[in-house]
Amino acid sequence: MTIALATALPFRDIDPDLPLLHAAAERRGLALETVLWDDPAVDWAGFDLVVVRSCWDYTDRREEFLDWAATVPRLANPVEVLRWNTDKTYLREVAAAGVPVIATQWDVRDGDPLAGDGEPDAEWVVKPSISAGSRDTARWSDPADVYRHSEELVARGRTSMTQRYVPSVDSDGETAMLFLGGHFSHAIRKAPLLERGEGVNDHRDSRGDITPRAPTAAQLEVAASTHDALRALFGPDLDLLYARIDLVTAPDGSPVVLEVELTEPSLFLPQSGGGEDVLLDAIEQRVRG
C-alpha cells in the first residue's frame, strides 16, 4: 500500500502535520510519500490513496487545482467536496441546513445598510469568498472602509463577504474542531489574527498561536450537527477522511460556524495527542475497503 500526501512547494517544509504523519507511517511500516500537487511527473494512479494536505496555493489557481483533483483516481477528500468547499458561498447551504452560521452580508455596495452600524464600537470583517490564510481579509471600524474594500473585491470579479467582527475572538480566539475518519478527534484554540487598524495584510502567520482546547458541550453539538449536515448535503455515501469546523462565540455565548474546512485544513496534529495515528488508521481502513 502506498499513500501520497499532496502539498505545494512553498509549504512542503513548513506544514507541521507532515513530519508527524511520516514518523507514524514509518513506525507502522506504511509507505507514505509527500508529493507536490502540481508536479507533472507524478503518476497519481500509482497511489492507493492521495490525501490533500498543505495545497495552500490553490486560492490563486483554483480551477487548475480542481482540474488536477479531478484527474486523481483515489483522492481524499473527493473532488466534488473540494469544489464545493473552496468557495465560502457554501456557508449559505450550511445555514440553510439549520446549522448556526455567522451572519454574512454578500457583495455589500456603498450605502447598503450594515448590520450593527450605529452601535458603539461596531467593527466588521470584509473578506473574499475564495481565500485562505486570511488573505485579502481585513477588520474595519469605519463603514466607508467596509464599502471600499467590498467594492474593490467585487470589481475584481470576486464575491465579497461582510461580517460583524466577533469581539470574543480577541479574548477567546476561535475554536477549530477536528474530525478524522468521520469522528471528532480534537479541538484547538487559534489566537486572533486581525488587528484593529491593520487593514489588509497578506503576510500574517495564519496558523498563528495554537493551543489544545477542551471543547464545550455546545461546541461539540454544533460541530457534530455541521458534520451531519454535510451528509445531508452530499448524500449518505459521503466519506470525509478529514474535516475541520471553525467556531467562534457569538455575543449571546453560543457557538457559530465561521468556516468549514474540507479541502486543505491544518489538522493541528502537534496539538492533537496522537491524531496522526487516528488519521493513518482511517487511511488504511479506507484502502483495505
Ligand X SMILES: Nc1ncnc2c1ncn2[C@@H]1O[C@H](COP(=O)(O)OP(=O)(O)O)[C@@H](O)[C@H]1O
Q: Which residues are catalytic?
A: 204, 244, 261
Out of 24, 35, 52, 125, point to the residue binding ligand X (CB under 6 A): 125
Q: Least distance (Å) from ligand X to the CB of residue 169?
A: 4
3-state secondary structure at position 261 = strand
What is the dihedral sign for C-alpha 268, 272, 277, 280?
negative
Fill in the per-residue mask, 79 to 98: x = in contact with Mg ion (CB under 5 A), - = not in contact: --------------------
Q: Least distance (Å) from Mg ion to the CB of residue 174?
A: 7
Told to check if 188 binds ligand X by CB under 6 A, we report no
Out of 58, 140, 147, 165, point to the residue binding ligand X (CB under 6 A): 165
Q: Which three cell numbers stand for residue 180?
A: 478524522
- Our CB check for ligand X shows the closer of 49 and 246 to be 246
Out of 86, 163, 185, 249, point to the residue binding ligand X (CB under 6 A): 163
> E strands, the chain, where?
2-7, 31-36, 49-52, 75-76, 105-106, 124-128, 138-140, 160-164, 174-180, 183-190, 210-212, 242-249, 255-261
Residues 217-276 that bind Mg ion (CB under 5 A): 259
Dist CA 22 CA 135 (whole Å): 29
Dist CA 229 CA 223 (whole Å): 10
Q: Least distance (Å) from Mg ion to the CB of residue 29?
A: 35
Residues 5-44 that bind Mg ion (CB under 5 A): none
Told to check if 57 binds Mg ion by CB under 5 A, we report no
Q: Least distance (Å) from Mg ion to the CB of residue 130?
A: 13
Q: Least distance (Å) from ligand X to the CB of residue 143?
A: 15
Q: Is 257 exposed, middle or buried (0-12, 13-18, 19+ CB in 10 A)?
A: buried
Told to check if 136 binds Mg ion by CB under 5 A, we report no
Spatial neighbors of 42 by CB under 8 A, at least 6 apart, are 4, 35, 36
Number of other CB atoms surrounding residue 213 within 10 Å: 19
Dist CA 58 CA 131 (whole Å): 9
Choose the stretch contacting ligand X; rule: CB under 6 A; options: 17-25, 40-48, 129-137, 230-238: 129-137
Told to check if 194 binds ligand X by CB under 6 A, we report yes
Amino acid letter at 71?
T
Binding residues for Mg ion, rule: CB under 5 A, are: 259
Binding residues for ligand X, rule: CB under 6 A, are: 102, 125, 127, 131-134, 137, 163, 165-166, 169, 174, 192-194, 246, 258-259
